[in-house]
Amino acid sequence: MTLLPRLPARCGSVENIPFRSRPLPAPVEVGSTPPSPRPILALPGSQATLYVELIQVSRHSLEAGSDTPPLLWVRPLLLRQGSQVFNLRATSDLLWPAAGFVPAYAEEVLPLLEQARDPAPHELPARQQLQAFLRQVWRG
């Protein structure tokens, strides 16, 4: 298991993001090490679901009176397309609007982590699969 660095103290608060449906679980802090895990979020699309790790919330969009929708800095983990699950951990981080993201829980993510695989040579590389998914979600 890879331990990730702690977030800077001035990050935006996850509690202020208007997620659809269920609330995020309360963060659990146990001492100073190891760092607490970051929330896992899902972005459902019409034919696939993207699972990401939340890195940071844009502070500018959380300021009082701001009409800018919140932006999230997220790290792609998995892309589930039907019964196939692709490993996206080698792709780049994203800055994406919070609208559409829902919290993902261990019961749904842990089995997917076991099933995740890198794309086969005859399939699109992970980066291109992620780009195609994001284009589809962006268009609505």
Per residue in 22-59, pLDDT (tens digit) is: 555 555 555 545 567 889 999 999 999 999 999 998 87
User: Any idea where the domains of the chain sit in the sequence?
Assistant: 34-139
Residue 10 CB contacts under 8 Å (≥ 6 apart), including other chains: 59
Give dist(CA 95, CA 101) in Å, integer. Answer: 13
Residue 13 has what pLDDT? 53
- Cβ-proximal residues to 89 (8 Å cutoff; 6+ apart), any chain: 75, 76, 77
With 0.75 as the threshold, say if the pTM is over it.
Answer: no
3-state secondary structure of 73: strand
**What pLDDT shows up at residue 1?**
45
| 11-24 residue pLDDT tens | 455 555 555 555 55
